[in-house]
Amino acid sequence: QKEVEQNSGPLSVPEGAIASLNCTYSDRGSQSFFWYRQYSGKSPELIMFIYSNGDKEDGRFTAQLNKASQYVSLLIRDSQPSDSATYLCAVPDDYKLSFGAGTTVTVRA
């Protein structure tokens, strides 16, 4: 099984700040990467995916991929209390997805 590592947190940031989440993966051949957000008591929601090295921006979210270093990160700009959740990184593993344990983010008002 492909390994995906995330800092479990919790990561606490003040409202309006940038939250930076990191994820490393074991398989150098991985081609696509996914970020999910999971609110407490809810199911995961896909927020971004990235295939190419570099940055991909979607609203306040930016995913950054560095295949040479085998890490993918997620930046949340202008963090809001509504961003408080657990963020899961995932990579394809055969027909499945391997998930990291998730990073819990708390945005302080």
Partner 1 sequence: GAVVSQHPSRVICKSGTSVKIECRSLDFQATTMFWYRQFPKQSLMLMATSNEGSKATYEQGVEKDKFLINHASLTLSTLTVTSAHPEDSSFYICSARGLVADTQYFGPGTRLTVL
Q: Which residues bind partner 1 (CB under 8 A)?
A: 32, 34, 36, 41-46, 49, 51, 88, 90, 92, 95-97, 99, 101-102
Closer to partner 1 by Cβ: residue 88 or 107: 88
| DSSP string for 38-96 | E-TTS--EEEEEE-SSEEEEETTEEEEEETTTTEEEEEESS--GGG-EEEEEEEEETTE
Q: How far is the CB of 48 from partner 1 (least distance, A)?
A: 11
Q: How far is the CB of 39 from partner 1 (least distance, A)?
A: 11
